[in-house]
Structure formats: structure tokens, C-alpha cells
Structure 1
Amino acid sequence: MDYITIKLPFNANGDVAKELLSTAWWFKIAAHRVLALAKRLQFLPGNKVGWVSVFREVAYGVVPNRRYADGAVTLVMGIYESCRALGVDFRGVELSGWLMFQQSELEYPAKSITLKQNHEFHVTTVRFDGLIGRVVVRPTVPKNYGELLNAILTGRVEYMGRVVIRDYGVRNNQLWVRGEVHMTVPLDIYYEHMARYRRNNGKLIGGVDVNTDRINLAIINDDGELIDHRTFWFSEVTARGFPKHKAWSLIGMRIHELLDYAYHHGVKTLFLENPEVLGRLRLIWVRNGDRKHGSYNHKVTIFRSTITERIALKAPLYGIETKYVNPRGTTNSTEHDEIMKKYGLDRHRASAYLIALKGIKHQ
């Protein structure tokens, strides 16, 4: 079964903020301990059960909550597996400055980060003195997400929780934190309750070319004739220092604009470049000194692949089917140059057209 993680922002202050922050610090220390031990071992387990068996005691000695301890172990295991897939030396990685804590398994109800009827979350905490506590977090829940949360409660659907601290400080002599509650839920439940359009009677094909500052859409018919094309810009996010959270919010808006435009212009199937199989670091919390050279291209590849994945994830909400094509030849080729001249397209829109054309040829 496939899953998706939704994010619900919250603000907290006072004792609630203090307990959330302390739990995140203990969790981070636990992850560091597990990482340090894992680097020293010559052989590491091949699955989650093995990792938990070897490292749970170490993590639990720092964060005395079994679910959070397993969550720290699972996080480090994910880093190790990503490093193997990327060909990166696991012993050379370091954890960056994140603050969060999570469970490691799906359950209903999730015991440590528990969804309640009024869309608040009862969160188990580990205080700075090491004692266990429990606080209530009330995130901002959009109306459409509210329907999804209700479905999870009434259907007793298993989910997994995570709390991420984005920022913290002191205001009027009182500690505050800004963060997000993350819920990992089954993808089919998400589609069932979040769909914007239940039916799609379109017959056209779309091709999408993703870049660091725009998404290009080309629409063609079954004969390969170009019907329409459009560019959805988010060039602001390339500015140095542009906030990451704001950037992804803006990109998310453009993705929905793209899909809404495609739906209302008769697109039934959307072809995307197949994201390179990077085994990439899905939690961008790992820094590695060995990747200083060529890191820009690495980041760009991950950035583009992430946008492509998000388009594929959101497309079913519009009744649009997505398929992947091999991107080879869609950017630099004789055919690409000919299409630019024939239709008066820039190179990115021509790439989108070629992706769509490649899609119908390989169906």
C-alpha cells in the first residue's frame, strides 16, 4: 500500500512549547547516538526488525518512549539505505540542524501522537528532566483536510505521526514554537476524500517539462498535433535566501494551477520525465562533505524530481492519469531542434511537447 504525508501547521507557547522542544532535543540526541554506533559497526542489519533489535536499547536510553526510540532508529536506517543507493560513504554523513520526533509504525489510534475528534492532537512528550508528559496541540486544519481526518477517525484508519519544530524563541518572557504535525495516511483514503473532480472525460495528452523556475505543459492529440502549451512560473524561489517553506507553498500552487488547466483543457493522461532513481535522501537532513563537488547538480536533480513526484501525486485529484517516459533526447536532439523551429517554441516547451509525443509512441 502507498502512503502520503499531510502537514498541519501549529503554534504553541509556554509549557506546551517547552515540552515539545525538549522532546525534539531528546529525539535528536537519540538519533545521534544511534548514528554514531551504526558508523562503528562493521555489519549493519538488512531490515527494520534487525535495526530495531540492535539499536532500540541505545535510543530508549535517551528518549524513554518505545515508539520515539524506534522512530529515531528508523530515521538513521533510512539515511543508511539512502547512502547505499547514492553511493555515499555512510560514515561520512552528519545530521543537520533539524528538530523533530516521530513514531516508526502505523497504528490506530497512534499512541504517542494521537488524533482526537476535534482535530487536535494529544502528544506524548519527554520533558527536559526526562519525565514523560502529555500535551495538546491544536494545528490549523483546512476544511478539505478536516474531511480527511474525520474519515480516518470514523474508518479507524491506521496512521503515523510526526512533530516538526520549524522555529522557536522567547517572546514576552515566554517560550514559543512554530511547527507542523505530520500525518502519514494511506494514499487511497487521501484520493477518496481530497479529489477535486470525480470524473474526467478528456481525451487529450499532456507532456510536462520541469525546471528550477517553471513547469511547462504541452497538450497534443492522438495524432501528435500540438493543441496548446503553457508555462507556470515560480522564478521567485530561485532567489538567494528565499524561505524554503514559502518556496514549496508557491510551487504547490503552480502544480495545482497546472493540473486545473490541464483538466479544463481536455487532458486525460499526463506524461512526465521518469525521476532518476537516486534512492535519494527523502528527509533532507543529511549533509555530506564528500559531495561538495557537483552538489549543485545533485540538488537540482533532487529538486526537479521532487516536483515531478508531487505532480504525479496530485494528478489523480483531477482525474488525470500520469505515466513516465525516459527523458533521453527530450532536451538535446535533432528532433528537439526541429520542433522548436516548426512550432516557434522555446526549448523548455519543446521538451514538454517531446515528452508528450514520446508518451503516445510508447503506449
Structure 2
Amino acid sequence: MTNKLIGSKEALEHFQFVTINGKVNFEDKERVVRIAKAYSQVVKSTIRPLFDGKSIDELTKEFYNLLPNYLETALKQAKTIIDGLLEREENRGEMIHARIRKFWFGSRGNKADKGNRNVKFHVLEDHVLIKVRDPWNKEWIFGKAYFGKEYLPLLKELEDLSQRKEEGYGAVISFKEKPMIHLQVPVWLYLKHFSSLKPAGYGLIAGFDLNSDRLNVVVINKDGKVITTRTFWYSDVTRPGFPKVKARALRLNALSNALEFLSRIGVDYVVFEDLFLVKKRKFTRSKSGNRKITRFAKKQLLTHGVIKSLRLGFNVVLVNPKGTTNSEEHDRAMREKGFDRHIASAYLIALKGLGMLNDIK
């Protein structure tokens, strides 16, 4: 695999795995639901103590009998919820009221545990045999999981690697209409099976500015000269009451169209803002603007963009977003080049990517 991902330590850690999803039918669903209920209760019960400074070791001792085996992941989720609330200053006083909307439980991967301590799988001809550890009876709960057939060769290789203690995989069991299993596959293995070879381009660099209602792209060459600009619109998604699932599909479709366009014109590097360096979500005085910010899952779109770009054979660069929206350079780009504020942001993002690539050489 020749394509690369260049970014901060935080970003690179985030892109270690890709999640693939499948439906699962358990022989004893009620026992699995019992685990999920205990997991949810632990997460709810530990948010406030963690926020008040209680240590992970103290909470592990306190809640171990309630949820052995899965406790480590539950505490990690509680910590993630706290961090998310702290990103938005207006929610700091609502820590005690944090609600757990999703019903699931998870188990982290570990090479030493032959992939995962609590969730095991075995690839069969047209499905995957799943074993989930019952933390109280010390038994396994069996089920049949159905992934897309295209994933079975990948899972078979992951199974072999985990048996040799060469790779681990995280696993999540969720419940909505039906039980689902979500396996976290190493990104290198995912790309090995699903990436396509892209013809060598002309060394062009594309900067992306992701927004709630549009996707802006600016393409530059190695000298920083603007080659072309594009805006991919999906403005309907910001209307009140617009379905979230449909909004997500439209944004992802626009991103896919943009990447296909860039592949045709000879782009080799795509550049996004490194949102994993942003600790707080910025709000405005506009209620409608704040609604767009709240509903817009920008990190989710970024994650899809990075993985999609790598699959298509691009090199991906993640740059520090500081100064790409409000700065003297941003004002100068609008004034001197006649860009609107979003195209100006995409232009500065592309230039930052060019700067990082020049520093590496």
C-alpha cells in the first residue's frame, strides 16, 4: 500500500481501525441483553464520579461485581461522554443529566487475548459464528452473524492473525430493531482488501472545507497556484426536521463525487482539517447557526472522507485548523483572490497541506 496518512498523533491513533457492521442472531438473546443493561447502568453511574475526580481504579473496584469483563470499556465510554460535554461550555452544568441514548456494550481488542477477550468469531461459508462471554456464568453465548460476503475474506484473515496473536479487534454489540455486531478491523488490513490502485497524478493537492450545507474544494499545484475550485451543495439538509439519515447520505455522496472528480484531474494529495486537535466546539449568537453546528457530525464526515480517500489511492494530509477560518491570511485570500469565506478556507487548508509535504521532503 503506497498511499499514506499524515497527521497529528491524535488523528493517527483515531484511524487505526475501520468498523464493519453485521446482523447477529443469538441463541439466548436475553442473556446478551442483560449484559447490555448492566453495561448501560455502569456508564450512567460512573459519569458523575469520574467528573468529580474519582479514579478509574476506585471505580473498577466499586463496579466490578456488577459488570466483570466489560467494565474497562464501560468506563472508557463514560470518560468519552464527559470529554464530549466539556467540549461545549454550555453543557458543563448538565453533567449530572447526561443521558445514554444508545443501548450497547463493547470489548476492546488485544493481541495477547487472541484478538479479543470477550468476543470471538469464526468465519464459516456464508456467515460468522460469534461467541460472547457471559461475565457472570463464565460461559459463552453463541450467535450467527451475517456480514456482506465481500467482508468474509477480510474477516478470515483477521481470524488467522488473531489466533497467532498478531492482531486484535474491538467489538461492539448494539440493539436497535435487531442485535448488531460492529467489528473494529485494523485499517491496514481493510485497505489491503478494499483499496483500489489510482493512476499516478500530477502531484496536485486538494484542500477540503467541510460544512453543514456544502463541501468546498480548492486544487493547487506544487507552487501553490490555484488550478480549480469546486463547491458541492447539499443545502436542504439544514432545514428543520430534515431526516438525519438522509442528510448523512447526501453529505457522503457529495464527498464521494468530489473525490471521484479529483481522481480524474490528477490530484495525488487530499487535505482535511485535523479536527482531533479541536478541543471545543465553537458556537455563535445565531440560533439557526448553532442548530446547524449541533446537527452536523463533522468528525463523522471527516472519518468517512479519510478512509474513502485512502481506499481510492490518495495520500491524505490532516492539518491544524488554526487560522483557516478567521485570520489575516483568510481575509487576504478573500480580498485578493475574490474567494468567498468557504473557498478561502479550502485554499488555506490546501496551502497548509503543501507546507507539511514540503517539510517532510
Q: TM-score, normalised by structure 1?
A: 0.74
Which residue identity does 2:335 align to in structure 1? D
Question: Which residues of 2 match residues 148-163 of structure 1 at below 5 A?
Answer: 148-156=154-162, 157-163=167-173
Contact 1:274–1:325 (Cα < 8 Å) also in 2: yes
User: Is 1:98 aligned to residue 102 of structure 2?
Assistant: yes
1:164 CA displacement? 1.8
Matched residue of 2:123: which SS? coil
2:294 counterpart residue number: 299
Which shows bigger deviation, 323-332 or 82-91? Answer: 82-91
1:131 CA displacement? 9.1
- Distance change in 2, residues 1:137/1:295 (3 Å): farther
Which residue identity does 1:141 align to in structure 2? G
1:269 CA displacement? 1.5
1:122 counterpart residue number: 130
What RMSD, in angstroms, separates the aligned Cα atoms of the two structures? 3.6
1:328 counterpart residue number: 323
Residues 63-101 of structure 1: CA distance to partner in whole angstroms, max 9, x if unpaired? 3xx322222122223334555666646844513321000
1:315 counterpart residue number: 309
User: Is 1:79 aligned to residue 81 of structure 2?
Assistant: yes
2:69 to 51, 67, 70: 67
- Distance change in 2, residues 1:271/1:69 (3 Å): closer
Which residue identity does 1:104 align to in structure 2? R
2:336 counterpart residue number: 338
1:7 to 20, 27, 33: 20
Q: Distance in 2 between matches of 1:202 and 1:154?
A: 39
Contact 1:139–1:180 (Cα < 8 Å) also in 2: no
User: Is 1:21 aligned to residue 19 of structure 2?
Assistant: no
Question: Which residues of 2 match residues 1-363 of structure 1 at below 5 A?
Answer: 2=13, 3-10=16-23, 12=25, 16-38=28-50, 43-45=53-55, 51=56, 53-63=57-67, 66-82=68-84, 88=92, 91-107=95-111, 108-118=114-124, 119-124=127-132, 134-141=141-148, 143=150, 145-156=151-162, 157-165=167-175, 167-168=176-177, 177=178, 179-197=179-197, 200-275=200-275, 277-279=277-279, 296=291, 299=294, 303-323=297-317, 324-326=319-321, 328=323, 330=325, 333-340=331-338, 347-360=341-354, 363=358
Contact 1:196–1:318 (Cα < 8 Å) also in 2: yes
Contact 1:31–1:59 (Cα < 8 Å) also in 2: no
Matched residue of 1:116: which SS? strand
Q: Distance in 2 between matches of 1:95 and 1:276?
A: 24
Q: Distance in 2 between matches of 1:280 and 1:163?
A: 30
1:126 CA displacement? 5.5
- Distance change in 2, residues 1:203/1:228 (3 Å): same
- Distance change in 2, residues 1:206/1:135 (3 Å): same
1:136 CA displacement? 0.7
- Distance change in 2, residues 1:10/1:271 (3 Å): same
Q: Distance in 2 between matches of 1:299 and 1:271?
A: 24
Unpaired stretches in structure 2, ≥5 consecutive residues = 1-11, 282-286
Which residue identity does 1:149 align to in structure 2? L
Residues 225-254 of structure 1: CA distance to partner in whole angstroms, max 9, x if unpaired? 333333333344334344444443443333
Percent of counterpart pairs with the same letter?
Answer: 20
- Distance change in 2, residues 1:358/1:30 (3 Å): closer
Contact 1:161–1:184 (Cα < 8 Å) also in 2: yes
1:308 CA displacement? 2.9
Residues 272-319 of structure 1: CA distance to partner in whole angstroms, max 9, x if unpaired? 2342634479xxxxxxxxxx999647626x733442343234322222
1:339 CA displacement? 1.9
Contact 1:5–1:185 (Cα < 8 Å) also in 2: yes
Contact 1:237–1:247 (Cα < 8 Å) also in 2: yes
Which residue identity does 1:54 align to in structure 2? E
Which residue identity does 2:76 align to in structure 1? T
Q: TM-score, normalised by structure 2?
A: 0.74
- Distance change in 2, residues 1:335/1:38 (3 Å): closer
1:29 CA displacement? 1.4
Matched residue of 2:183: which SS? strand
1:173 counterpart residue number: none
Number of paired residues? Answer: 325
Contact 1:84–1:90 (Cα < 8 Å) also in 2: no
- Distance change in 2, residues 1:255/1:180 (3 Å): farther
Q: Distance in 1 between matches of 2:85 and 2:238?
A: 27
- Distance change in 2, residues 1:105/1:224 (3 Å): closer
Which shows bigger deviation, 80-89 or 313-322? Answer: 80-89
Contact 1:202–1:267 (Cα < 8 Å) also in 2: yes
